[in-house]
């Protein structure tokens, strides 16, 4: 199998981007890390700590922070892109002239663009139209940054267009505490990673309302059904949703105390307004914007996504979470497995 020369850049120095840079640096790779905030770039350079997004952890000396996007992308064989979904297209457009032919580009952002309903790989496919010399991959799975950076054993999924490409990058990313599995289902991995955040908002809201484990289990299970339904309609392999990037990431995000999306939902359930919740958060809860995409994606694909719909109504039409739960429970009765109807 052909190997990359392994000049590596990571675009985005939030908690997950910084953590992925740390994983690669732990393996001995020099890593160029693009930091959007000039003051944060200076802090990381001076202290080797990301005090904004990952405080308390010293970074590997193999990490080289930079505020110069071109320096982090140009002539690099492997580039990981880890910026919030709402600025993804803007940053990708800026990166486009600097991408090296044969570059392997891994998107590790979980989201669906509001205006186009494209995944992050979909955005790149649109921007790269007519150019076939860039390998696109996506990385997703149950992986809280604060646990990975502590070298707590974690498993994740890497999807690519061919097995050879997936394995090439798999060997670069994998190490003793970070196990990477390959997949050929990019759309399934991305849809699962994006929509689980919306379900986590619902679970958090029900926790905030004081409901119990029964409610949580029901939301996770029926949420998985919604994610699978739309994913398969978009061409995904249904088995992907029972893997790490599907049920694995869904369970983690819906139950883990480190989940930003669950936390936002919890505060909504306790009666706080969305603007009030978000103004106190430095890091992005992707599910808030993805809920809007899910609403329009369900209409476009003509599939039922009742949990995602109620989350959208709670976030964007100020629907009371208690009423949202009532409406979910009072829907027309169904057969559980759609194929058996």
- Mind telling me the catalytic residues? 196
Place of tokens 């054993």: 153
The SS3 call for residue 157 is strand
Closest CA to 205 of 283, 140, 145, 288: 288
Structure tokens at 152: 């707590």
Pairing relation of β-strands 63-66 and 78-81?
A: unpaired
Closest CA to 191 of 228, 137, 143: 228
Structure letter (DSSP) for residue 98: G
Strand order in 154-160's β-sheet? 63-66, 31-34, 8-11, 78-81, 104-107, 135-140, 154-160, 178-183
The rounded distance, in Å, linking the Cα atoms of 66 and 205 is 39
Exposed e or buried b for every residue in 51-74, given b needs 16+ CB within 10 A? ebbbeebebbebbbbbbebeebbb
The rounded distance, in Å, linking the Cα atoms of 204 and 171 is 36
């Amino acid at each position: 199998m052909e190997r990359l020369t392994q000049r590596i850049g990571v675009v985005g120095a939030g908690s997950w981007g910084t953590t992925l840079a740390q994983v690669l640096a732990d393996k001995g790779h020099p890593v160029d890390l693009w930091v959007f905030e000039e003051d944060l770039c200076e802090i990381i350079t001076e202290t080797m700590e990301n005090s904004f997004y990952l405080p308390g952890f010293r970074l590997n000396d193999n990490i080289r922070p930079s505020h110069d996007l071109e320096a982090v992308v140009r002539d690099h064989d492997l580039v990981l892109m880890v910026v919030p979904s709402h600025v993804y297209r803007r940053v990708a457009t800026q990166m486009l002239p600097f991408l090296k032919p044969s570059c392997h580009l891994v998107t590790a952002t979980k989201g669906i663009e509001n205006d186009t309903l494209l995944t992050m790989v979909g955005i790149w496919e649109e921007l790269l139209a007519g150019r076939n010399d860039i390998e696109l991959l996506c990385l997703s799975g149950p992986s809280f940054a604060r646990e990975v950076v502590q070298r707590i054993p974690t498993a994740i999924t890497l999807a690519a267009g061919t097995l050879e490409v997936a394995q090439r990058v798999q060997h670069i990313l994998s190490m003793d505490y970070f196990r990477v599995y390959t997949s050929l289902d990019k759309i399934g991995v991305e849809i699962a990673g994006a929509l689980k955040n919306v379900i986590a908002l619902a679970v958090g809201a029900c926790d905030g309302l004081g409901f119990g484990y029964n409610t949580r289990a029901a939301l996770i299970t029926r949420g998985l059904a919604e994610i699978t339904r739309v994913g398969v309609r978009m061409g995904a392999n249904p088995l992907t949703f029972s893997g790490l990037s599907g049920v694995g990431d869904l369970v983690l995000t819906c139950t883990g105390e480190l989940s930003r999306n669950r936390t936002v939902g919890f505060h909504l359930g306790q009666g706080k307004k969305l603007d009030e919740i978000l103004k106190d958060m430095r890091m992005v809860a992707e599910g808030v914007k993805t809920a809007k995409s899910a609403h329009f994606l369900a209409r476009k694909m003509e599939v039922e996504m009742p949990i995602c719909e109620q989350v959208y109504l709670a976030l964007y039409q100020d629907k009371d979470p208690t009423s949202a739960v009532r409406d979910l429970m009072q829907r027309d009765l169904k057969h559980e497995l759609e194929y058996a109807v």
